[in-house]
Amino acid sequence: MKQYNKLVRDKIPEIIEKSGRRLEYEILTNDAYRTELDKKLDEEISEYRESRNLEELADIIEVLYALCESNGSSVKELEQIRKKKAAERGSFKNKIYLKCVE
């Protein structure tokens, strides 16, 4: 059997089983889940950096949503915070690169 030892999307075991292959998996504890989400975020960011693919950005968002919910917050709360920070401090649309401050 090929070893993966990583967090996967919820339907992956079903997809693998339907293809006729055997698999082993476990349901993580909350603490282990958060740890694996952190690893998954790193993985997805690396994949995006390599490909610059929109699909990888979607994967990053999915992991961010799961992290948010695993910490007892909602995606709605996350978006409210994002909007508040954008209103108060701006976003990154103007491509400003701060070089120094005296």
Number of structural domains in the chain? 1
- The boundaries of the domain holding residue 52 are 12-75
Alpha carbon of 15 to those of 6, 8, 11, 26, 38: distances in Å? Answer: 16, 11, 6, 16, 24
In a domain, 97, yes or no: no
In a domain, 30, yes or no: yes
In a domain, 49, yes or no: yes
In a domain, 61, yes or no: yes
pTM of the model: 0.88
- Dist. CA 11–CA 75, nearest whole Å: 21
- Dist. CA 20–CA 35, nearest whole Å: 30
In a domain, 20, yes or no: yes
pLDDT tops 90 at residue 1: no
In a domain, 35, yes or no: yes
In a domain, 86, yes or no: no
In a domain, 52, yes or no: yes
pLDDT digits (tens, 9 = 90+) for 9-65: 999 999 999 999 999 999 999 999 999 999 999 999 999 999 999 999 999 999 999
Say how many CA atoms lie within 13 Å of 26 toward its Cβ. 9
Q: Is the dihedral of CA 6, 32, 61, 9 positive or negative?
A: positive
